[in-house]
Structure 1
Amino acid sequence: MSPRPDKRVGLDDLAAAIPSRSLLAIPADYGGPAIAASLALLRRGVRDLRLVTAPTSGLQADLLIGAGAVAEIETAGVALGEHGMAHRFRAAISAGTLKIKDATCPALHAGFQAAAKGVPFLPLRGILGSDLLRHRPDWTVIQNPLTEDSDPIVLVPAIHPDVALFHAALADRFGNVWVGVRRELLTLAQAARRTLVTVEAIYDGDLLADPLRAAGTIPHLYIEQVALVPGGTKPLAYDGHTPADDAALERYAEASRSQDGFAALLAEWLA
């Protein structure tokens, strides 16, 4: 049997694997947003990304949108949490320069789960009666075929990202990635055509052979590349590894109120 390839790469090489116009899936702020990789993408000049959030986003989406790198977003919400509105997202929507596909958290999770399961859609009830259905012609309401009673149900189509990008705690050199309880990241990796991950540390061994970590590990066959980037979510917190830099986040929230303020701060972060 030939040896398994080493999937470790540098941050710039990982960012180079995401072409312009990709359908790029990113996690919520609590799920490990790859901020360092996003800045590397912007240094490279990526354009016309189509973002899909799993299921919301904050700083990561606002950065990419403010830099002009995003043409479209499908999301259940973009905000900076306790630091307020995502001003560049809001400005782009108001100006009509960003196309938005409004969604809900359950609908996005259902779309990723459908792709991971290899089926064209999953049924969902919770958005029946919502005005979202008027704006999402791709969400189809049908009669439940398993009953003769009136029982409408919504079919949410599978979401197949070109690339999933997120940050995690550990990976080994084979590309196995430990995400612990963040099982939605496993679904994201299974749904995406390619998955790229930045990590806090490289595990010396095989994570799938570790009985304490195997159950929380995404197998290497779903992962294309991993890059060692300690603190890869900064200035956002990352689950016991990196505390939030509240001063930096507050500064971003204030600077991003205007495009000029955002541009000046972004230039500083990209330097």
Structure 2
Amino acid sequence: MTARVGLAALAATIAPGSLLAIPADYAGPAIAATLALIRQGTGGLRLVTAPTAGLQADLLIGAGLVAEIETAGISLGEWGSAERFRAAVAAGLTVRDATCPALHAGFQAAEKGVPFLPLRGVLGSDLLKVRPDWRVIDNPLADAPDPILLVPAIRPDVALFHAALADSAGNVWIGLRRELATLAHAARRTLVTVEALHPGNLLDDPLRAPGVLPHLYVDQVAVVQGGAWPLPFPGVEGDEDALARYAEASRDAAAFTHLIGAWLDGRD
């Protein structure tokens, strides 16, 4: 049975140095849990994004909690560059460049319990010069030379995301965001914050059941209304003023620290 815990208790189970998988800004980043990690000072994190990230990654990096990141891109989207990420890269943050298909392939390999998955799209790119762990072999099933890329499985220690609903058994409704199911299948542990509890069994609802992540893939759930704030979430409007203030403050380390201090204190 999935454990239902408070937000601080959920964040406290993420150990320093964990390989932490987080989703893109459009797929339910657990921002409240991220602030809890910052409050607890959980450092040395190795982030891997599915397949990109924005505010969540920038917050953790700006707080000095990230040792390295593997990603296809970090951006605040319409709000501009992720300035704390940019500053950290300039200061020497280890970045493992990837592509969206390569990251999805890595998670899918772990999900399937295989050591790698083949991929073609990266062949011929400069990425191969900086990713010695990606191997190019000759397709063993081809009758003529046919190079193919092998992307190693990515098995996160923890997958962390925000979703709309969970039920008493710990089943979580993720809707259309099937990449969250892949993360949960790939990760050793999955921690989820949700907007609300569903009174029945989500798997008994024929309309919701296709979008349900079963409880056997979920370790802990915390109910956190507005858990993706200030980002928009299905059914919840984003706080554009807060995002604009963040984008501006993140350009300066001192202003970033002041703003995040306010967020940690529950002040906007």
So what's the TM-score if we normalise by structure 2? Answer: 0.97
For the pair 1:238 / 2:233, whether they are aligned, the reply is yes
For the pair 1:182 / 2:174, whether they are aligned, the reply is no
Query: By how many angstroms is 1:6 displaced?
Result: 5.5
Distance between the aligned counterparts of 1:80 and 1:160, measured in 2? 26
1:221 corresponds in structure 2 to 216
Q: Residue 229 of structure 2 aligns to which amino acid in structure 1?
A: K
For the pair 1:122 / 2:130, whether they are aligned, the reply is no
Distance between the aligned counterparts of 2:213 and 2:12, measured in 1? 23
Q: Residue 250 of structure 2 aligns to which amino acid in structure 1?
A: S
Q: Residue 193 of structure 1 aligns to which amino acid in structure 2?
A: R
2:162 corresponds in structure 1 to 167
2:62 corresponds in structure 1 to 66
For the pair 1:13 / 2:9, whether they are aligned, the reply is yes
Q: Residue 200 of structure 1 aligns to which amino acid in structure 2?
A: E
2:131 corresponds in structure 1 to 136
Distance between the aligned counterparts of 1:90 and 1:268, measured in 2? 23
Distance between the aligned counterparts of 2:116 and 2:147, measured in 1? 15
Query: By how many angstroms is 1:219 displaced?
Result: 0.6
Superposed CA RMSD in Å reads 0.8
2:40 corresponds in structure 1 to 44
1:247 corresponds in structure 2 to 241
For the pair 1:202 / 2:205, whether they are aligned, the reply is no
Contact 2:2 2:219 in 1 (8 A): no
For the pair 1:91 / 2:83, whether they are aligned, the reply is no
So what's the TM-score if we normalise by structure 1? Answer: 0.96
Query: By how many angstroms is 1:124 displaced?
Result: 0.3
Query: By how many angstroms is 1:44 displaced?
Result: 0.7
Unaligned runs of 5+ in 2: none
Distance between the aligned counterparts of 1:174 and 1:19, measured in 2? 25
Distance between the aligned counterparts of 1:72 and 1:95, measured in 2? 12
Say which SS state the counterpart of residue 180 (structure 2) adopts: helix
CA deviations over 1:27-59 (Å, ceiling 9, x no partner): 000000000000011111100000000000000
Contact 1:7 1:173 in 2 (8 A): no
Specify which of 13, 20, 33 is matched with residue 24 of structure 1.
20
Say which SS state the counterpart of residue 46 (structure 1) adopts: coil
1:155 corresponds in structure 2 to 150
Q: Residue 163 of structure 1 aligns to which amino acid in structure 2?
A: V
For the pair 1:75 / 2:71, whether they are aligned, the reply is yes
CA deviations over 1:224-268 (Å, ceiling 9, x no partner): 0001011100000002x2112111111111111011111111111
1:257 corresponds in structure 2 to 251
Moved over 2 A (4+): none
Distance between the aligned counterparts of 1:60 and 1:122, measured in 2? 28
Say which SS state the counterpart of residue 192 (structure 2) adopts: strand
Q: Residue 127 of structure 1 aligns to which amino acid in structure 2?
A: V
Distance between the aligned counterparts of 2:173 and 2:54, measured in 1? 23
Say which SS state the counterpart of residue 250 (structure 1) adopts: helix
Q: Residue 249 of structure 1 aligns to which amino acid in structure 2?
A: L
Unaligned runs of 5+ in 1: none
Query: By how many angstroms is 1:148 displaced?
Result: 2.1
Say which SS state the counterpart of residue 50 (structure 1) adopts: strand
1:34 corresponds in structure 2 to 30
